[in-house]
Structure 1
């Protein structure tokens, strides 16, 4: 299993700077070193912070190109905090909660981020669950007759 941060303190230590976030994304995108999308070249020069230029064909790409981070104006540190917060929520994440925790300026930004993150977490070609499924601390189904209030479930 990968060495992912388990606590907010671990996240803040490991990804405390934009540089650390960029290096991590670089290692995920090109685990065996840079590869040009266009020509397959293995050498590139850094042009700017996140931008690389292939030494063979001159194609420029970035560690955030073709990712959920593309086009963002917010720091990667904030994005990494958002990812950690979304996956660490026991009862699911809401756009309003994300807005509050990160101090985002608008609900629309939080909603967009949350939907980008949810789409990114979907594994392509996944199979539907079947057979007996065990879910920890979750109730599924509709309204259940019975005790209401403090003694009720859910």
Structure 2
């Protein structure tokens, strides 16, 4: 958790989360951790933490739509890495940006040999 936050969020930033204890180490790494307890509130979770709710909803929709719910723990990192470059596929005007993102992805991610991708496959591959 902490390495991801350090890579994605500027030190000293306020990080609003729910009451899960796994976020507690953020304080020791220079982040201002604001806990928002969802139970006992008059407002819904989507009102209290709107962006968190939206991101989780979009991630669930993407996993179910793109991968039909067949995402394994062993391959989740590869799925998420692949989704970063796919987010710019929109309009034809962004083809140059898409190419740039694909090149960035190619040089910024360690190669995943075929054997490592099919190592935990439920069905025979090849």
Regarding TM over 0.5, the answer is: no
Q: Find the structure with the greater CA-based Rg.
A: 1
TM-score (norm 1): 0.22
TM-score (norm 2): 0.24
